[in-house]
Amino acid sequence: MRLVELRLINFKGVKNFTFRPDGKNATISGRNGTGKTTVADGCSWLLFDKDSLGNKQFALKTLDGAGGELHNLEHEVTGIFQLDNGARIELQKTTAEKWTKKRGSASPEFTGHTTEYHVDGVPVKLAQYREAVASIADEQVFQLLTSPLFFPGAMHWTKRRELLMEICGDVTDADVIASSGDLAPLADILANRSFDSHRMVVAERRKKINKELETIPVRVDEVDRCMPDLSGLNMEELEIGKAELLAALAGLKKKKDDIFSGAETAELRRQRSEIKTKISDLDRAAVYSLHDALVAIRSKRYDLSAANNQARNAVAGYQDQIRSKEAQLDEVEHFIEELRQQWFEAAKHIEPICPTCGQEIPEETIAGTLKIEKARINEKGKKEASGRDALKGEIAALNMKISQTEKTIDNERETSLGKEIEELAAQVDNRKPSKVVAALKEEEEALSARISDIEEKAGEAAGAVGREIANTETTIENLQNKIELFAKAKDGEKRKRELAAEQKRLAAEFERLEGELFLLDQFTRAKVNMLEDKINGQFDKMVTFKMFAEQINGGLSDCCEMLVNGVPFSSGLNHGHQIISGLHFIKRASEFYKVSLPCFIDNAEAITEPLPEMPGQVIKLVANGNDVLTVEIDE
Ligand SMILES: Nc1ncnc2c1ncn2[C@@H]1O[C@H](COP(=O)(O)OP(=O)(O)OP(=O)(O)O)[C@@H](O)[C@H]1O
Ligand SMILES: [Mg+2]
């Protein structure tokens, strides 16, 4: 595709400029700021909405000189392209501000932008426009082929590497292995792993093994240092000594058990218990005889007291009767005295006047009456006197009974029995043990003393046996420790053998891995050479590519750097050669994509060397002293 004409109107400050190379190589020149780059920007904006550096955000609208935008302008780019098949296509893109007057508002308001698209003069929708652009060029391809600095500089190195391999062709691991017989074993070694991951695994493993190998002498030394000193020790002797001591220990433990079970004091305890029983029997017997005597006397005194009391009660009863009789006697005496008075005073009580007729009663009648009266009193008196005598007799009889009864009361015996009882009771209370009992008690005490003596000694004996047991156990433990030294020594030897075996195994593996690493390095070198040869072979000899970077650990990491005469693009390469390296790439890429696009070489004044022969149209943008943009078309 070639550019036939490009017209800019109000684009990035360029008011109106038409560039008409007519599909030929051309040079646009002018002072700085005259608008050379703007022409390239106009072309890429027309096709892909971006400036020539690939920026979407840039000041498209005309600025007023103070940083502000001029409004109500139409910004337009029109391009006419000639396709490789000879056909031409005209594309036009016009952007304008959209000012809308809202109802009720005096002035219109800015409400965004509108963009109109025309293909061959026909207004089209964005989608149709894009379709038309796509038929001319793919956006990435356009960027790659129109701007020399894009591929070697602006593009990310990973994408650059991918693209380069796509264009120049990759070298597979299998290709590399097949390239040399030495590398053949790698096919099996790698199996399904990629070269890189396998190298990582091997390096890691080698590092680990190396570390392990380093620790082995240290570990052996440690085992050596922990090896017990067996000099002067005999395992068999130690075992025999231990067996003997174990038997002795069993005997000592039994002895200690016997002491604690009290076998020696058991017989003495039995004897003492027998004596205690005897004492208690005798004690009980002695108390019983005193008790019996006391009970007999108490019973006797009880009977006597009962008889005495009965007699005393009887006396008291007789005395009561006597007092009652004496009272009766007093009354009878008193009555007799009264009768005696009555007898003397009887005349006074005879009335001389008849109460019926009221006449004086004759003397003789009175005398007769008195006689009769006295006789009646006498009679009464006699009767009373006889009663009195009877009472006196009864009282005398009662007194007799009293003196007889009193004679039966034995106070003396009662008192003496009381004393006897008191004495016996005191005897029971303050009874002294018999000689037999005292002797038995002495015996019991002696036995108790012996028992505690034995027990005390048993404690001492047990202590002595305990100490002996402890000593024996310590000796056994010491022997055991010595015996264990043999086991420890055996373990140590075993461990050393194991470590030696491990060292051998690790060393063998280390060697194998070293071999693999060597092979892998060979592989790497082969791959680097193959790939770089393959790529570099497709470019001019001044241009080379570095596809691998060597790492400190000896490995390789991917990279993708373009070099001109061995100087890397990204560090130190001069500007002119930077552009030239980009042009070499565009040349190769055009071949690959089978397409050529107008290539804008901005700052072309930097190039003093002849340009590579380019497959497509070249538009050089050259800064020079021209005041206005000057266009020269190559014939
Ligand atoms: N939106 C814009 N409105 C007005 N002026 C602009 C705008 N954008 C850029 N400019 C100016 O337009 C002029 C042309 O810029 P351009 O980059 O095309 O110059 P150049 O000729 O490529 O310069 P150089 O030789 O330095 O590369 C410059 O003076 C720039 O400052
Ligand atoms: Mg410029």
User: Which residue segments constitute the domains of the chain, with CATH numbers given?
Assistant: 1-24+31-137 (3.40.50.300), 292-426 (1.10.287)
| 272 touches 481 (CB < 8 A) | no
- The alpha carbon dihedral of 230, 232, 237, 243 has a sign of negative
- Residue 565's pLDDT is what? 94
Residues of the chain with pLDDT below 50 are none
Question: What separation in angstroms does the CA of 365 have from each of 348, 359, 360, 361, 368?
Answer: 14, 13, 10, 7, 5
**The CA-based dihedral angle spanning residues 351, 355, 358, 364, taken in that order and rounded to the nearest 10 degrees:** -40
Distance between Cα 90 and ligand 2 center (Å):
26
> What are the structure tokens assigned to 556, written together?
């390789």
For a mutational test of ligand 1's pocket, the pick from 12, 41, 575, 628, i.e. the residue with the most ligand atoms closer than 8 A to its C-beta, is 12
- Assign 264 to helix, strand or coil: helix
**Ligand 2 center from residue 72 Cα (angstroms):** 27
As given in the structure block, the two tokens for residue 478 are 């010491």
Q: Per the confidence metrics, is the pTM higher than 0.85?
A: no
Amino acid 273: pLDDT: 93
Is the CB of 161 within 6 Å of ligand 1? no
With beta carbons less than 8 A apart as the criterion, state whether 592 and 585 touch.
Answer: no
Query: What's the confidence (pLDDT) of residue 62?
Result: 86
Predicted pLDDT of residue 135: 87
pLDDT at residue 432, as a whole number: 76
What is the 8-class DSSP label of residue 355?
T
* Nearest Cα to Cα of residue 333 among 172, 155, 238, 341: 341
Question: Do the beta carbons of residue 111 and residue 99 sit within 8 Å?
Answer: yes
Q: Residue 368: CB within 6 Å of ligand 1?
A: no
Using DSSP's 3-state secondary structure scheme, residue 473 falls into helix
**Contact by Cβ (8 Å): 543, 563:** yes
Which residues are CB-neighbours of 257 under 8 A, at least 6 positions away? Answer: none
pLDDT for the residue numbered 361: 84
Ligand nearest to the CA of 60: 1
Ligand 1 touching residue 37 (CB < 6 A): yes
Identify the CA nearest to 539 among candidates 588, 595, 607. Answer: 588
pLDDT at residue 554, as a whole number: 65
Phi, psi of 337 (to 5 degrees): -65, -40
Nearest ligand, CA 35: 1
Proximal ligand: closest to the CA of 602:
2
**Do the bridges between strand 543-550 and strand 14-19 make them parallel or antiparallel, or are there none, so unpaired?**
unpaired
Separation of alpha carbons 437 and 435, rounded Å: 5
For the chain, give percent helix, strand, coil, nearest 5.
Answer: 65, 15, 25
Q: Which amino acid is at 237?
A: E
Triad 235, 240, 245: Cα angle to 5°: 125
The verdict on the CB of residue 12 being under 6 Å from ligand 1 is yes
Helix axis angle for 435-536 and 263-344, nearest 10°, is 130
In 170-262, which residue ranges form alpha helices assigned H by DSSP?
173-179, 185-190, 195-226, 235-261
Q: Which amino acid is at 375?
A: A
**Two tokens at 498?**
């194991």
The protein residues having their C-beta less than 5 angstroms from ligand 2 (an ion) are 36-37
Cβ of 63 less than 6 Å from ligand 1: yes
* Residue 33 Cα to ligand 1 middle (Å): 5
What is the per-residue pLDDT for 115? 95
CA-wise closest residue to 297 among 212, 190, 420: 420
Closest CA to 151 of 590, 542, 591, 582: 582
Centre of ligand 1 from the C-alpha of residue 628, in Å: 12
Amino acid (one-letter) located at 508? A
pLDDT of residue 210: 93
In the beta sheet, which residues pair with residue 567? 564
Q: Does the CB atom of residue 58 touch ligand 1 within 6 A?
A: no
Alpha-carbon gap, residue 531 to 546, rounded angstroms: 10
